[in-house]
Amino acid sequence: MPLVDMRDMLHHAYQNNYAIGGFGLVSLDFLEAIIAAAELCRSPVILNLSEPLFGQQDFRLILPAIERAAHQAKVPVAIHFDHAKRHESIVEAINLGCNSVMLDVSSQAFTVNIAQTSHATETAHACGAAIEGMLGFVGGTEGENAINHLGEAIYTSAEEAKVYVDRTHVDFLAVSIGTVHGRQNSRTKLDFKRLKRINDELGIPLVLHGGSGLIEDQYHKVILNGVAKINCYTELSDIAAATIRSNVQSRTKKGYIEAMQDVKNNLLERISLYMHRWGSAGRAAEVLIQCRAWQPVEQTIVYNVQKRYLQQIHALIEQGRETLSAIPGVRQVFAGWALSVSDQYHLCWRIQFATTDASNNFQSHAEYIAFIHQLSRISEPDKINITFAATSLGTNSCLEEIKIPQAQHLA
């Protein structure tokens, strides 16, 4: 089952009064537990990667595993990159496989937040990715993730939210109504009237950060007032840590694998509870019908080159790999020489894009146009240029649904 567009996923939740969990993950144990719980509950799910939580690790190492798990899942999955601090992080996240992003500049002045988020929206939408905005400030208290969000909470204004969404064109809005990152106080009070006003003004899916530890009635009320995505990490982190401590403190000497025993099962149990509590359990089939698949696109360009230009070509290839790979929406750049001896088509470029939108944006990008112009000056006029769209995984035949592009022999 393919990755799906998170806009479609959350709009279905928003229109049908339930919420989908954006479950934070920092390891394969979390990843496997989240996917297993979603399949067990037949629930759509969002795999949430938060940039601040990867300060000790390289999220580029885990993203290939996350993407593979999403494609192999039996339920609809989206991959969201949360709390990015820099625009460059958003580009990198999309290029590495995330299909939804969030730039966290909520602590900045209102006008700065709008300007920087608008820029991020342009980039994300040009690649076909969804984007979450944040207005107001959800502070942090006790907990592993709280240290990344220190400061007093600033509640979201309904009037400012309307201006913010109109100017930034974000797809979803994270709001501050009383929750905190980290562990919630048992007497946490949420401003439901404020949330209702925001929902009435915007009419788009809302997101609740600091979703761990609320009571069932609070979850029910926020969902009825427009919250379609609830972030949850701290409670899962505490469950994993408590399980490991219990294993280590037992009388039998424990190694690493033994210390991790039951972590996945205990996480699965709590995630499943939330999927039922938030109403996403049993929704997988209907969500899949409503969602567009997140399908990669590849462009292949094959050239004829003359021997006298080989040194220039080699230099251009190295330059091109670096330059083209940095363009938003470019997943991979491959360049290679034909292994067989032939008089035709010696050099091949293959570029993988996140989506068709990313491919279209690439064709008009100044860096690409400049590169192609340079390459054309030192290659033969004849070349093959063709773009391929991936078929949906798990389907028997997609030929009737796909418009097959024509190979272009360009002079």
- Cα 385 to Cα 92, 319, 407: the distances in Å are 26, 20, 6
Q: What are the residue numbers of the active site?
A: 82
Under 8 Å between Cβ of 137 and 175: no
The DSSP letter of residue 137 is B
Q: Kindly report the number of other CB atoms within 10 A of residue 90's CB atom.
A: 26
Q: Strand, coil or helix: what is 255?
A: coil
Q: Which residues contact 339 (CB under 8 A, 6 or more apart)?
A: none
* Among the listed residues 84, 76, 35, 36, the one whose alpha carbon sits nearest the alpha carbon of residue 59: 84
Rounded CA Rg of the chain: 23
Q: Kindly report the number of other CB atoms within 10 A of residue 40's CB atom.
A: 16
Cα–Cα distance, 44 to 66 (Å, whole number): 15
User: Which residue do the tokens 């944040």 mark?
Assistant: 134
Under 8 Å between Cβ of 144 and 234: yes
Quote the tokens at residue 181. Answer: 């990152």
CA 180 and chain centroid, separation? 22
Cα–Cα distance, 342 to 345 (Å, whole number): 7
Beta strand 297-303 pairing with 45-50: unpaired
Q: Kindly report the number of other CB atoms within 10 A of residue 72's CB atom.
A: 12
Quote the tokens at residue 235. Answer: 């409670």
Cα–Cα distance, 230 to 46 (Å, whole number): 10
Q: Which residues contact 37 (CB under 8 A, 6 or more apart)?
A: 43, 45, 267, 268, 271, 272, 275
Extended strands (E) in 177-246: 206-208, 227-232
